[in-house]
């Protein structure tokens, strides 16, 4: 299973894995050849197409050597390109869209029996995907989708045409899923939606998202709640109050800016302006002075002038983001921005991008230096952190989602899912270091669940998923829906 794009795609891949394992497939051991390869694709950025077709070309010789191998392509790019994928890569067996991920096992079987490609792309969602079986990537942290689809019409974004109009789950269904996850050992959930703070639009309650955050506070055993991504136009003060007043809702906010220029925001069809955005930042910090705020920014949108870009830099300086995911604008066919006048030359976009990254690196480092000396409770993450001759380190996340590398002494065995209390001794732009002794180690049910997974039997041999011959995708930005939402 290879996943590209946003957290919603990652969660969809967990569902696809759950479906396939329920149908009798098992994951491929590292180094062995897979019988089934599944690409869950993204369509937001220009290189998404190149990456997919490059990987499909890479697999063609393996398919020729082993005609029984099946290749499936799903996700946003499949929904967009539809029959184009089979035309350009006729060795693909299955193409499925964002609205019918539950069909994958049946489509694989049909392709095997018929001996020809199966293409199925539905135009709307029939069943909310959270009803599907899911194989969670983590024993201690989980994605929980509260909505799918998007009702906005941003001119740079193709996601609404691929994911459809917003569909909301009922609060009771969401809380039941969270309670079941906690019973399995999960300590942290991230609520997912293309625009989480418009949650409730389907059943007419504009305060539903804040109420949902408060309801999460009543789930016994749930220690951390996060969400991504809200839209500034719909961000309301009741959500700020819910974040500040609900103990297990983390003081972390990812809120896309896209541009600091009102003129460009209007051209993007983003229904807020810089003053409103900065007002939200100020109110969040007034209620939660320790909040870590991150964002998304697009550089080089059509018509962007140096003055517009300077307005973005001004908002970045004022906002003091802990982190920013910055993107160079790329044309996406089918979006209004693709045909706008004033496409910015590549070399200009690159130069502005480098200036923005340099400014944000400086701010991130300054903000991280303020963490030195703080004592933080860190949720230990999967895998070990950096190693050197003097220090063995593991990694985890602070409550505000900052990455922390912490020293582990001889005989200390924190497990992923456990909690350690450490003091920050050093700060870099993208992480913190705690090289002193662990102050306390709290073994958790989540750590027990992780340990149980490691000791579990791999199960019987069978048809395998995966593609060890192609490297893992790069780490995902903390954003959902379109990578520049």
Q: What is the pLDDT of residues 388-409, one digit of tens each?
A: 545 688 999 999 999 999 999 8
* pLDDT above 70 as % of the chain: 87
Q: What's the pLDDT at 485? A: 31
Residue 189 three-state SS: strand
Q: What's the pLDDT at 311? A: 98
pLDDT digits (tens, 9 = 90+) for 357-369: 999 999 999 999 9
Alpha-carbon dihedral 134, 109, 159, 360, rounded to 10 degrees:
60
Q: What's the pLDDT at 120? A: 84
CATH architecture classification, 129-369: Alpha-Beta Horseshoe (3.80)
pLDDT digits (tens, 9 = 90+) for 226-235: 999 899 999 9
Q: What's the pLDDT at 131? A: 60
Does the pLDDT value for residue 300 go beyond 90? Answer: yes
Give the tokens for residue 232.
Answer: 């500034």
Answer with the residue of higher pLDDT: 475 or 177. 177
Q: What's the pLDDT at 129? A: 59
The domain made up of 375-446 is a member of CATH 2.60.40: no
Answer with the residue of higher pLDDT: 334 or 82. 334
List Cβ neighbours of 43 (8 Å cut-off, separation of 6 or more). 49, 75, 76, 77, 79, 80, 158, 159, 162, 332
Q: What's the pLDDT at 202? A: 86
Does the pLDDT value for residue 295 go beyond 60? Answer: yes
Q: What's the pLDDT at 397? A: 96
Please give the DSSP secondary-structure letter assigned to residue 348.
H
pLDDT digits (tens, 9 = 90+) for 112-149: 888 888 888 876 665 565 665 667 778 899 889 898 88
| CA atoms lying within 13 Å on the CB side of residue 356 | 32
List Cβ neighbours of 327 (8 Å cut-off, separation of 6 or more). 45, 296, 297, 298, 299, 483, 484
Alpha-carbon distance 304 to 343, whole Å?
8
Mean pLDDT of the residues in the chain: 86
Q: What's the pLDDT at 82? A: 72
Q: What's the pLDDT at 124? A: 61
Q: What's the pLDDT at 12? A: 82
Give the tokens for residue 477.
Answer: 């930005």
Give the tokens for residue 183.
Answer: 């019973």
Work out the pLDDT band at 188, boundaries 50, 70, 90: very high
Does the pLDDT value for residue 462 go beyond 60? Answer: no
Work out the pLDDT band at 199, boundaries 50, 70, 90: very high
Q: What's the pLDDT at 310? A: 98
Q: What's the pLDDT at 122? A: 75
Q: What's the pLDDT at 80? A: 79
CA distances in angstroms from 448 to 178, 235, 408, 458, listed in the order given: 18, 38, 19, 18
Q: Residue ranges per domain, the chain? A: 2-125+459-465, 129-369, 375-446
pLDDT digits (tens, 9 = 90+) for 148-176: 888 888 998 877 667 678 889 999 999 99
Q: What's the pLDDT at 466? A: 36
Mean pLDDT confidence for 56-85: 86
Q: What's the burial of 345, exposed, middle or buried (CB within 10 Å: 0-12/13-18/19+)?
A: exposed
Does the pLDDT value for residue 483 go beyond 50? Answer: no
Answer with the residue of higher pLDDT: 40 or 247. 247
Q: What's the pLDDT at 438? A: 95
* pLDDT above 90 as % of the chain: 55
The CATH class of 2-125+459-465 is alpha beta
Does the pLDDT value for residue 45 go beyond 90? Answer: no
pLDDT digits (tens, 9 = 90+) for 327-351: 999 888 788 999 999 999 999 999 9
């Amino acid at each position: 299973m290879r996943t590209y794009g946003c957290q919603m795609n990652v969660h969809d891949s967990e569902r696809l894995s759950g479906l396939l394992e329920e149908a009798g497939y098992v994951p491929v051991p590292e180094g062995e050849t897979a019988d089934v390869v599944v690409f869950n694709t993204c369509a937001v950025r220009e290189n998404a197409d190149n990456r997919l077709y490059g990987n499909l070309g890479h697999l063609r010789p393996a398919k020729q050597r082993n005609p029984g191998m099946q290749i499936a392509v799903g996700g946003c790019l499949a929904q967009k390109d539809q029959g184009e994928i089979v035309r350009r890569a006729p060795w693909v067996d299955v193409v499925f869209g964002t609205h019918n991920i539950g069909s994958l096992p049946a489509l694989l079987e049909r392709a095997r029996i018929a001996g020809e490609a199966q293409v199925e792309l539905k135009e709307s969602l029939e069943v909310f995907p959270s009803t599907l079986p899911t194989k969670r990537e983590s024993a201690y942290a989980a994605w929980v989708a509260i909505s799918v689809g998007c009702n906005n019409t941003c001119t740079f974004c193709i996601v609404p045409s691929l994911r459809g109009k917003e569909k909301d789950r009922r609060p009771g269904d969401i809380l039941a899923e969270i309670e079941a996850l906690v019973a399995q050992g999960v300590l942290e959930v991230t609520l997912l939606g293309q625009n989480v703070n418009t949650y409730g639009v389907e059943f007419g309650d504009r305060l539903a998202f804040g109420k949902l955050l408060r309801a999460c506070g009543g789930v016994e055993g749930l220690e951390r709640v996060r969400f991504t991504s809200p839209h500034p136009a719909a961000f309301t003060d009741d959500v700020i109050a819910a974040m500040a007043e609900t103990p297990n809702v983390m003081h972390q906010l990812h809120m896309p800016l896209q541009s600091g220029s009102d003129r460009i925001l209007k051209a993007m069809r983003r229904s807020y302006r810089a003053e409103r955005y900065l007002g939200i930042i100020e109110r969040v910090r007034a209620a939660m002075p320790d909040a870590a705020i991150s964002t998304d920014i697009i550089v080089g949108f059509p018509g962007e002038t140096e003055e517009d870009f300077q307005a973005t830099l001004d908002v970045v300086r004022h906002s003091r983001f802990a982190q920013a995911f910055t993107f160079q604008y790329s044309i996406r066919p089918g979006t209004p921005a693709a045909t706008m006048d004033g496409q910015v030359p590549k070399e200009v976009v690159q130069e502005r991008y480098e200036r923005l990254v340099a400014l944000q690196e400086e701010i991130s480092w300054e903000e991280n230096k303020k963490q030195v000396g703080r004592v933080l409770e860190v949720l230990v993450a999967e895998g070990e952190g950096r190693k050197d001759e003097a220090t063995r380190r593991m990694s985890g996340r602070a409550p505000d989602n900052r990455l922390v590398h912490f020293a582990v002494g001889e005989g200390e065995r924190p497990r992923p899912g456990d909690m350690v209390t450490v003091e920050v001794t050093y700060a870099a732009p993208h992480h913190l270091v705690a090289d002193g002794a662990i102050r306390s180690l709290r073994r958790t049910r989540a750590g027990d669940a992780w340990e149980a997974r490691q000791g579990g039997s791999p199960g019987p041999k069978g048809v395998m998923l995966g593609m060890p011959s192609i490297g893992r995708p790069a780490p995902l930005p903390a954003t959902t829906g379109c990578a520049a939402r």
